[in-house]
Amino acid sequence: MASDPSISIESVLQEQRVFEPSPGFVKTSQISSFTRYQEMVDSAKTDPNKFWGEAALKELHWFKSFEKVLDWSNPPFAKWFVGGKTNISFNCLDRHLDGPTADKTALIWEGEPGDQKKYTYRELHSEVCKVANALKSLGITRGDLVALYMPMVPEAAIAMLACARIGAPHSVVFGGFSSEALRDRLVDGNAKAVITADGGFRKDKIISLKTAVDNALSEGSCPSVKSVLVVQRTGEKVQMNAERDVWWHEIIKKQTSECPAEQLDSEDTLFVLYTSGSTGKPKGVVHTTAGYNLWAHLTFKWIFDIRDDDIYWCTADVGWITGHSYIVYGPLSNGATTVMYEGVPRPSNPGAFWDVIQKYKISIFYTAPTAIRAFMKSGREIPDQFDLSSLRLLGTVGEPINPEAWVWYREVIGGSNCPIVDTWWQTETGGVMISPLPGATPTKPGSATLPLPGIDADVVDSNGNSVSTNEGGYLVIKSPWPGMMRTVHKNAKRFRESYWEYLKPVDGNYIYFAGDGARRDEDGYFWVMGRVDDVINVSGHRLGTMEIESALVSHELVSEAAVVGRPDDLKGESIVAFVTLKSGIDPDEGSIDQLRAHVSREIGPIAKPDEIKFTESLPKTRSGKIMRRILRALASGKEISGDTSTLEDKSVLDNLRS
Among 167, 400, 453, 482, binds ligand WT7 (CB under 6 A): 400
Residue from the set 419, 515, 544, 609 that interacts with ligand WT7 by CB under 6 A: 515
Site for ligand WT7 (CB under 6 A): which residue of 158, 216, 311, 448?
A: 448
Q: Which of 86, 40, 60, 26 has its CA nearest to residue 335? A: 60
Q: Shortest approach of ligand WT7 to residue 5 CB, angstroms?
A: 16
In angstroms, give the least distance from the CB of 626 to ligand WT7.
Answer: 11
3-state secondary structure at position 172: strand
Between 248 and 526, name the residue whose CB sits nearer to ligand WT7: 526
133, 367, 427, 580: which one binds ligand WT7 (CB under 6 A): 427
Between residues 238 and 484, which has the closer beta carbon with respect to ligand WT7?
A: 484
Could you tell me how many helices (H) and strands (E) the chain has, helices first? 20, 31
Identify which range of 9-17, 262-270, 391-399, 581-589 contacts ligand WT7 by CB under 6 A.
Answer: 391-399
For residue 297, how many other CB atoms are within 10 A of its CB?
27
Burial 187-218 (b: 16+ CB within 10 A, else e): ebbebbbbbbbbbbbbeeebbbbbbbbbbbbe
The 526-531 sheet, strands edge to edge? 457-460, 473-477, 512-520, 526-531
SS3 labels along 258-304: CCCCCCEECCCEEEEEEECCCCCCCEEEEEEHHHHHHHHHHHHHHHH
In the shown chain, the binding pattern of residues 311 to 330 toward ligand WT7, with x for contact by CB under 6 A and - for none, equals ---------xxx--------
| Contact flag: residue 422 with ligand WT7 (CB under 6 A) | yes
Residue 449 within binding range of ligand WT7, rule CB under 6 A: no
370: contact with ligand WT7 by CB under 6 A: no
Q: Helix crossing, 154-166 with 121-137: angle to 10°? A: 60
Contacts 24+ apart (CB under 8 A), 351-355: 351/382, 351/383, 351/385, 351/386, 353/315, 354/382, 354/383, 354/385, 354/386, 354/388, 355/386
Count of other CB atoms within 10 angstroms of residue 565: 24
Applying CB under 6 A, does 426 fall inside the site for ligand WT7? Answer: yes
Interface with ligand WT7, residue 624, by CB under 6 A = no
Q: How many Å apart are CA 132 and CA 89, to the nearest integer?
A: 11
Contacts with ligand WT7 by CB under 6 A: the residue count is 21
Query: Which of 464, 468, 444, 440 shows the shortest CA–CA distance to 453?
Result: 440
Task: Choose one: 41-49, 75-83, 191-199, 509-517; the region binding ligand WT7 (CB under 6 A).
Answer: 509-517
Our finding on whether 399 is near ligand WT7 (CB under 6 A) is yes
Smallest distance from ligand WT7 to CB 602, Å: 19
Stretch that binds ligand WT7, among 117-125, 219-227, 387-395, 510-518 (CB under 6 A): 510-518
Of 227 and 487, nearer to ligand WT7 (C-beta) is 487
- Residue from 192, 287, 531, 622 binding ligand WT7 (CB under 6 A): 531
477 lies in the site for ligand WT7, by CB under 6 A:
no
As measured in angstroms, the least distance from the Cβ of 116 to ligand WT7 is 27
Q: Which is nearer to ligand WT7, 265 or 534 (CB)?
A: 534
Of residues 32 and 545, the one with the C-beta less far from ligand WT7: 545
> Among the candidate windows 31-39, 197-205, 357-365, 513-521, which touches ligand WT7 by CB under 6 A?
513-521
Q: Which amino acid is at 97?
A: L
Q: Which is nearer to ligand WT7, 275 or 462 (CB)?
A: 275
Give kind and range of the element (H or E) at residue 71. strand 68-74
Identify whether the C-beta of residue 477 lies closer than 8 Å to the C-beta of residue 456. yes
Q: How far apart are CA 82 and CA 421, in angstroms?
A: 33
Measured CA to CA, the distance from residue 339 to residue 328 in angstroms comes to 9
Residue in 120, 315, 337, 623 binding ligand WT7, rule: CB under 6 A: 623
Question: How many residues belong to the chain?
Answer: 658
Per-residue HEC secondary structure of 307-376 comes to CCCCEEEECCCCCCHHHHHHHHHHHHHCCCEEEEECCCCECCECCHHHHHHHHHCCCEEEECHHHHHHHH
CB nearer to ligand WT7: give 262 or 549. Answer: 549
One character per residue 254-293, x = contact with ligand WT7 (rule: CB under 6 A): ---------------------x------------------
Nearest-angstrom CA–CA distance, 565 and 545: 9
Distance CA 155, CA 469 (A): 48
Establish if 528 lies at the interface with ligand WT7 (CB under 6 A): yes
Cβ 556 to ligand WT7 shortest distance, Å: 24
Residue nearest to ligand WT7 (CB): 427
CB of 325 to ligand WT7, least distance (A): 8
User: Between the CA of residue 480 and those of 9, 49, 53, 80, 455, what are the distances in Å?
Assistant: 26, 11, 14, 9, 8
- Region binding ligand WT7 by CB under 6 A among candidate stretches 17-25, 333-341, 372-380, 398-406: 398-406
Tell me: does residue 420 bind ligand WT7 (CB under 6 A).
no
- Which residues are at the interface with ligand WT7 (CB under 6 A)? 275, 320-322, 397-400, 422-427, 448, 514-516, 528, 531, 623
